Structures are given as structure tokens and as C-alpha cells.
């Protein structure tokens, strides 16, 4: 049964052409983003909007227009708009959330307002705080790595751990690394760059540099983990879909006392040689019922990058061939 549709006209007050221009964005780009996110149709004449859609979506669109208009004294950036849209979409599930799920999670990073923007992101944060080993599995742009690094920074700031260890497999290394210029660290650096970027965003360049000097942060290829025991550390394995079964077992058994481990990956982007099983896929099957290990599955609805990213993910999911 289709939800009842509603057409409403809503006028923004007080009239201010500059605020209106900031709200609409260049060539009404912000309005198109609102339409795509809420499933409504917006038509505008001056400061009056005609909103067409499901009743609940229309009410949300009106509330969103009022909120954005009130904060439109300066141009509204795409990042801010997407955050507001994601928060509004995530609020749909709050009534069905378990007891205590509405309690805020405050992380000590450079971003005072850092929090989960979708129900799955909030669940992911809670699982990382409550479990020693957490898996975050899903498509690009869902915040798997960024939120994991944020929790690691928070744990370091609170002295919950003594150091942060970040690692990822250099799948395309092999013999080809030998043709790249520089020493080993310079050869593997491009594979680890996303982890550096997250740290710089969450801590600032100077503090990250000092943390490296003091040994509080370590970034290394997965191969360097063999034979180690990591005590009192927050350990993150990124791009875990590109580990083999043996590498995944090796990594998970490095975890020592007082440590937390987060494994992130996207099983739709496996770059292993043909015929090689993904350690992430295998771990999901083997460890599904192991106590103390949590799994969060992200979907296109959790993408917080450019709105096109979510639509690209959905298109590829729809085109994926089904198993015979």
C-alpha cells in the first residue's frame, strides 16, 4: 500500500535573498540533494516552496528547509548539507532503537561534534567501545576506517591504550614494489596514505608528527605484524578484504592484553589474485558465533560522501550477478 502523498506550500521568513541563495546552492544543487535524500519534489518561486511527496517526507523537508535557512547567513557547504541529511535520515530509526541507544557517544578528537551519522555508524561506535574485536564491513564512504581511527585517537587521549597501531595489506606489492623509487617505507607509503589522512584530520599534523616521534602511533604493512604481540594497543586492520585466510588468522592472534582490534573492509572490492579466498569473508563465516567479537554491516544508506557515491554503490549492488 502506497503512503499518502501530500503537497504543501511553505514560505521562508523573514525574506532574505542572500540566505535563500545560500540555501539553494549553485544552480539549486542543494535543493536537488534534498530531493534525492528525502524522496520529495521541490519547486520554488522566490521564498515560497512547493513540496510534493509522502506526508512524512514533506514534513521532514519543511523542517530541513527551515533549519538550513536559519543557518544560511554564510554559504552552506556540501559537507554540512550531507551531514544534516544523514542525521535526518538516521532519526527515522531512533524510536526503534534499543534502550540506551540515544545516549550520546563523545569522542576526544579535534572534532568536538564527531558522532555517528546513521544508525549503523552509531551501532559501530558502540560495538568498538564494548568489544575487544570489531568488524566493520561495507562499501566505500560509510566511515568504517575514519570512525575506527577516531575511536583509537579517543582511547589514546583517555589513556585507555598506550599506542595506536594501524596496518593494511599491500596487495599490489609483490615484485612490482621493487620498481618503485625509494626505500621500503617509501614504497608502501601510498598504500597507507588513507590512514595518515584520517589521523591528520582527527589530531592535526603537528600532534600526529609528535606522536610518531614518541612511538605512540605506528603504521606498518600487514606483513610486519608477524611474530608480534600487541599489548595495550588499539589496532586497526584496514582493507581487510585483501588479506588471505592465513594473514587474517595471523593478525587476529597478535592481539594481547589490554588491546582493542578493529577490522574494516569492503567485500565488493577484493583485489586478491583469482582463486585466492578473502580472509575477511572467511573470518565472517568462522567467527560469526565467537563471543566477544562484533560485526557491523554497512550499506549504501550509510555513505556520507558525495550523494553520487551512494547511488553508485546501489547500482553496482543491483548489477552484481546472483549465485546459481
Per-residue confidence of the chain (324 residues) as pLDDT tens digits? 445 678 899 999 888 999 999 999 888 888 988 887 788 899 999 999 999 988 888 888 898 898 888 888 888 887 777 777 766 655 554 443 443 444 557 677 877 667 777 888 888 998 998 889 999 999 888 889 999 999 999 889 888 899 999 998 875 534 344 555 555 556 566 777 888 888 999 999 999 999 999 999 998 888 888 888 899 999 999 999 999 999 999 999 999 888 999 999 999 888 888 889 999 999 999 998 888 899 999 988 887 766 677 778 778 878 876 544
All three cell numbers of 165, joined, read: 597501531
| Domains of the chain, each with CATH number or no CATH | 5-92 (3.30.1370.10), 107-319 (3.40.50.300)
Count of CB atoms situated within 10 Å of the CB of 196 = 16
Number of helices (H) and strands (E), helices first, in the chain? 11, 9
Output the pLDDT for position 114: 74
Could you tell me whether strands 48-54 and 41-45 are parallel, antiparallel, or unpaired per DSSP bridges? antiparallel
Residues contacting residue 306 through CB under 8 Å, at least 6 positions apart = 78, 82
All three cell numbers of 13, joined, read: 521568513
Distance CA(40)–CA(222), nearest Å, equals 46
**What is the reported pTM?**
0.65
Residues contacting residue 123 through CB under 8 Å, at least 6 positions apart = 116, 296
Distance CA(188)–CA(203), nearest Å, equals 23
Phi, then psi, of 41 in degrees rounded to 5? -115, 130
Amino acid at each position: 500500500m502506497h503512503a499518502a502523498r501530500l503537497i504543501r506550500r511553505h514560505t521562508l521568513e523573514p525574506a532574505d535573498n542572500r540566505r535563500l541563495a545560500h540555501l539553494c546552492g549553485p544552480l539549486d544543487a542543494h535543493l536537488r540533494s534534498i530531493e534525492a535524500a528525502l524522496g520529495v519534489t521541490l519547486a520554488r518561486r522566490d521564498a515560497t516552496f512547493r513540496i510534493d511527496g509522502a506526508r512524512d517526507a514533506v514534513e521532514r523537508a519543511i523542517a530541513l528547509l527551515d533549519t538550513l535557512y536559519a543557518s544560511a547567513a554564510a554559504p552552506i557547504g556540501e559537507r554540512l548539507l550531507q551531514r544534516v541529511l544523514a542525521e535526518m535520515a538516521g532519526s527515522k530509526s531512533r524510536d526503534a532503537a534499543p534502550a540506551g541507544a540515544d545516549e550520546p557517544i563523545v569522542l576526544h578528537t579535534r572534532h568536538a561534534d564527531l558522532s555517528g551519522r546513521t544508525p549503523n555508524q552509531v551501532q559501530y561506535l558502540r560495538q568498538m567501545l564494548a568489544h575487544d574485536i570489531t568488524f566493520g564491513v561495507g562499501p566505500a564512504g560509510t566511515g568504517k576506517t575514519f570512525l575506527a581511527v577516531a575511536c583509537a585517537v579517543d582511547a589514546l587521549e583517555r589513556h585507555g591504550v598506550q599506542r595506536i597501531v594501524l596496518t593494511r595489506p599491500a596487495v599490489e606489492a609483490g615484485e612490482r614494489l621493487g620498481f618503485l623509487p625509494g626505500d621500503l617505507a617509501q614504497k608502501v607509503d601510498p598504500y597507507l596514505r588513507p590512514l595518515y589522512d584520517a589521523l591528520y584530520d582527527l589530531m592535526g599534523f603537528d600532534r600526529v608528527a609528535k606522536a610518531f616521534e614518541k612511538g605512540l602511533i605506528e603504521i606498518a604493512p600487514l606483513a610486519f605484524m608477524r611474530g608480534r604481540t600487541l599489548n595495550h594497543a588499539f589496532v586497526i586492520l584496514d582493507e581487510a578484504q585483501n588479506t588471505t585466510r592465513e594473514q587474517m588468522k595471523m593478525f587476529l592472534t597478535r592481539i594481547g592484553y589490554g588491546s582493542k582490534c578493529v577490522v574494516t573492509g569492503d567485500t565488493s572490492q577484493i583485489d586478491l589474485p583469482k582463486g585466492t579466498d578473502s580472509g575477511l569473508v572467511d573470518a565472517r563465516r568462522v567467527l560469526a558465533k565467537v563471543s566477544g567479537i562484533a560485526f557491523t554491516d554497512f550499506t549504501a544508506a550509510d555513505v556520507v560522501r558525495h550523494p553520487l557515491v551512494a547511488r553508485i554503490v546501489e547500482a553496482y549492488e543491483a548489477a552484481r550477478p546472483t549465485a546459481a
